[in-house]
Amino acid sequence: MKDVASVAGVSLATVSRVVNANHDVRADLAARVQDAVDVLGYRRDLTASTLRRTDRLSSTIGLIIEDVANPFFSAVHRGVEDVARARGVLTFAGSSDEDPGRERELAEAFAARGVDGLVIVPCSSDQGYLSRDRDSGTALVFVDRPPRFIDADAVVSDNAGGAKAAVEHLVAAGHRRIAFLGDRPSVSTATERRRGYREALAAAGIGAEPALERVGLVGSRAAELAAGDLLVAPDAPTALFAAQNLIAIGAIRALREHRLQRQVALVGFDDVMLADMVEPGITVVMQDPYTLGRHAAELLFSRLNGFDGESRLHVVPTELMARGSGEIAPAGARR
Amino acid sequence: MKDVASVAGVSLATVSRVVNANHDVRADLAARVQDAVDVLGYRRDLTASTLRRTDRLSSTIGLIIEDVANPFFSAVHRGVEDVARARGVLTFAGSSDEDPGRERELAEAFAARGVDGLVIVPCSSDQGYLSRDRDSGTALVFVDRPPRFIDADAVVSDNAGGAKAAVEHLVAAGHRRIAFLGDRPSVSTATERRRGYREALAAAGIGAEPALERVGLVGSRAAELAAGDLLVAPDAPTALFAAQNLIAIGAIRALREHRLQRQVALVGFDDVMLADMVEPGITVVMQDPYTLGRHAAELLFSRLNGFDGESRLHVVPTELMARGSGEIAPAGARR
DNA sequence: CTGAAAGCGCTTACAG
DNA sequence: CTGAAAGCGCTTACAG
């Protein structure tokens, strides 16, 4: 910038005004500055600019998700990116792998680099550690899961409702022995979905049966083993509710290994590529992760734009998509 | 930091030394500083630190891929993230959507925020615009596709080789009318795969037939339409080579719509979730996008660590995975 | 409308 | 080993 100033024969302040599109500069001076910028290939150092500016905004945000490579979270990521991009804001992304320590490290690292805001899929049991950042002006929005021990905006799917709809659907097909395959109970979406599952069973007058609930499943392989286990047990379930995308994949594998994909019903949570192309097609509770991400980013920017009202919780509805696997009647059913 | 200094009763310089783990500080002073840091909840401003430091390193890198939500690229992303994370480096990510203007905007935006390096899936026809950044010390690595008009490290899959293997596999099953479904010719992987396709045909003594080559397909819907078109044409192909993940999805859909999934062979490029669970299972040329990302990041950090040799091109092998769809013999074939 | 000067939060020669 | 001072690249009151 010093070079630009001397080439253009003006002061640093004037160059700064021109590159910041401040119009209180005489046209001929502005033109000279612009020429110098072009000749020298000058580009403003945004980090230095942030340091000195009154608003201290960096035009960057941080995104913490479980795994950037999980299709559900990468769709959330894209939603956030698109909204940020429209505002000239860049996105840091990081995977927590459901490790609270990692979540915190990422939040620290983002904050130390001066992000304007943080969009977080929380996995820790307490996000109170973020209050210092919020108090110092960092906007905070939680996505996919609500915050704990901190007051902030959040966008979540209707997890309990979606799970309830899934189980009601299976009950309507005649099932009474419906297994639940879920992620770790520390993951709030897993707990919510189990709650919906239990509520639907109770509403149908079906007693809870702990042996049919398998939780703490991490990844498709663990789900495959757990589902296989259930399928060969005496008094096996006639239907499976696989409450997460990778868990549904594992359940599909297990059903095929035991050649039960046309005997035992399956409803998954969250859609997966090709789920409509396997036979039978996989009935799923669809979420809209892209919209989740967009809404989260929009809440974030509304805070950065000065909105200062109460915390908002935005719930995105889910939708059951019947494709075949969820409409299989129980083996011994009379019709 | 000023506050920490006054609470600890030392100078700014001493605080700086302590928070930078410089050991030339007396133990009692260091302890006092540490206490003050803890009491005040002080966190160093890394952007200010970067501005002043001699090496000017920000411990951030930028990643430009086609789409953060495409499973292939999100796996590349994870590979980059993991290597960066191990070095305390954070990753900006952005989607170019195959738009050269967007690629350039992202590169500019990352550079303006002082990234130490850039990992890029190039989509523009000329990346010469990056030479200024490289000359000013930004490390540069290309991934998935080699750079054009700039000399830099790159990591790519063996696209031509993988495509050749796919077509040879179909030829071995007896096919001579093999269609090619590909992405835009501006995408170098698409061109390379078509080259491999043509080479394999030529090697088998099969003449090129332009009517069987459909390129410029963007997304699975376009591929589905193109494949449907081919399948109903007089003299339709007996096998499809779908040269990209979304294109393969479209081809699978088209085959099912026409109930030809057991009559017409299909080989895809790049693996997709559930590709082994549809019937028949989809034979694919597997790439290793996670490894692509890891290697790219490792080349980047070797440059940041001072390596100054010639540009390196790392080619990651592909592997054909036979699952059924690629082993279907042509309809009228004698055995 | 323009420029000289101060200062954002930090690091780094330099002296002691 | 420690501190006073300069300065990274920029923006912003403040005078004029």
pLDDT of the residue at B1: 87
Bridging pattern class, strands B90-95 and B139-143? unpaired
- Identify the closest residue of chain A to B289 by CA–CA distance: A69
Is there a single domain that holds both residue A75 and residue A142?
yes
Nucleotide nearest to B25 (CA to C1'): D1
pLDDT of the residue at A333: 53
CA A40, C1' D12: Å apart? 25
Establish if B234 belongs to a structural domain.
yes
Min Cα separation B147/chain A (Å) = 22
CATH code for the domain of A307:
3.40.50.2300
Q: Which residue has the tokens 């376009």?
A: B222
Q: Which of B64, B68, B260, B279 to mutate to test the interface with A (most CBs of A within 10 A)?
A: B68
Alpha helices in chain A (DSSP H): 2-8, 12-19, 27-40, 46-52, 71-85, 100-112, 131-135, 159-172, 188-203, 219-232, 245-257, 289-304
pLDDT of the residue at A235: 92
Angle subtended at Cα B123 by Cα B119 and Cα B127, rounded to the nearest 5 degrees:
70
Intervals of chain B under pLDDT 70: 332-335
Chain A residues whose beta carbon lies within 8 Å of the beta carbon of residue B221: none
Global pTM?
Answer: 0.95
Query: A-contacting residues of B 144-203, CB under 8 Å?
Result: none
Domain hosting B83: range is 60-157+289-316
How many A-B residue pairs are in contact by the CB < 8 A criterion? 146
Is there a single domain that holds both residue B234 and residue B90?
no
Chain A residues whose beta carbon lies within 8 Å of the beta carbon of residue B112: 43-46
Per-residue pLDDT of chain A (335 residues; tens, 9 = 90+): 889 999 999 999 999 999 998 878 888 989 999 999 999 999 999 999 999 999 999 999 999 999 999 999 999 999 999 999 999 999 999 999 999 999 999 999 999 999 999 999 999 999 999 999 999 999 999 999 999 999 999 999 999 999 999 999 999 999 999 999 999 999 999 999 999 999 999 999 999 899 999 999 999 999 999 999 999 999 999 999 999 999 999 999 999 999 999 999 999 999 999 999 999 999 999 999 999 999 999 999 999 999 999 999 999 999 999 999 999 999 865 44
Establish if B148 belongs to a structural domain.
yes
Query: Given an 8 Å threshold on Cβ–Cβ distance, is B277 in contact with A272?
Result: no
B324 forms beta bridges with B281
pLDDT of the residue at A24: 83
Token couple for A46: 């945004």
Is there a single domain that holds both residue B244 and residue B296?
no
Establish if A242 belongs to a structural domain.
yes
- φ, ψ at B320 (rounded to 5°): -80, 130
CA B8, C1' D2: Å apart? 14
Which of B298, B235, B237 has its CA nearest to residue B263?
B237
Is there a single domain that holds both residue A188 and residue A275?
yes
- B239 and B177 Cβ atoms separated by less than 8 Å: yes
The residue that minimises its CA distance to C1' of D13 is: A54
pLDDT of the residue at B332: 65
Establish if B51 belongs to a structural domain.
no
Min Cα separation B105/chain A (Å) = 10
pLDDT tens by residue, A66-111: 999 999 999 999 999 999 999 999 999 999 999 999 999 999 999 9
Q: Which of B118, B277, B278 to mutate to test the interface with A (most CBs of A within 10 A)?
A: B277
Alpha helices in A259-321 (DSSP H): 289-304
Chain B residues whose beta carbon lies within 8 Å of the beta carbon of residue A92: 60, 90-93
Establish if A75 belongs to a structural domain.
yes
Establish if B332 belongs to a structural domain.
no
Token couple for A24: 């209180």
Establish if B334 belongs to a structural domain.
no
CATH code for the domain of B8:
1.10.260.40
Q: How many CB atoms lie within 10 A of CB A291?
A: 17
Is there a single domain that holds both residue B231 and residue B121?
no
Chain C footprint positions (protein CB, under 7 Å) = 1-13
Establish if A333 belongs to a structural domain.
no
CA distance to A70, A261, A274, B284, per residue, from B246 (Å)? 17, 26, 11, 13
CA B39, C1' D3: Å apart? 23
DSSP string, A179-245: EEE---TTSHHHHHHHHHHHHHHHHTTPPP-GGGEE----HHHHHHHHHHHHHHSTT--SEEEE-SH
What is the Cα–Cα distance from A67 to B180, expressed in whole angstroms?
34
Is there a single domain that holds both residue B201 and residue B273?
yes
pLDDT of the residue at A335: 42
B29 — contact with chain A (CB < 8 Å)?
A: no
**What type of residue is A280?**
P
Q: Which of A85, A274, A292 to mutate to test the interface with B (most CBs of B within 10 A)?
A: A274
Min Cα separation A46/chain B (Å) = 5
pLDDT of the residue at A197: 98
pLDDT of the residue at A22: 80
CA A49, C1' C8: Å apart? 9
Is there a single domain that holds both residue A261 and residue A304?
no
Is there a single domain that holds both residue A257 and residue A293?
no
Is there a single domain that holds both residue A121 and residue A22?
no
Chain B residues whose beta carbon lies within 8 Å of the beta carbon of residue A256: 277
CA A304, C1' D8: Å apart? 28
What is the Cα–Cα distance from A277 to A263, expressed in whole angstroms?
18
Is there a single domain that holds both residue A78 and residue A144?
yes
Chain A residues whose beta carbon lies within 8 Å of the beta carbon of residue B43: 108, 111-112
CA B29, C1' D3: Å apart? 13
How many folded domains does chain A comprise?
3
What is the Cα–Cα distance from B323 to B309, expressed in whole angstroms?
43
Is there a single domain that holds both residue A21 and residue A130?
no
Nucleotide nearest to A43 (CA to C1'): D9
Is there a single domain that holds both residue B89 and residue B177?
no
CB-to-strand C under 7 Å, chain B 37-76: 43-45, 48-49, 51-55
Token couple for B261: 């999934």
pLDDT of the residue at A122: 98
A135 — contact with chain B (CB < 8 Å)?
A: no
- Identify the closest residue of chain A to B90 by CA–CA distance: A92
pLDDT tens by residue, A179-206: 999 999 999 999 999 999 999 999 999 9
Token couple for A126: 């307490």
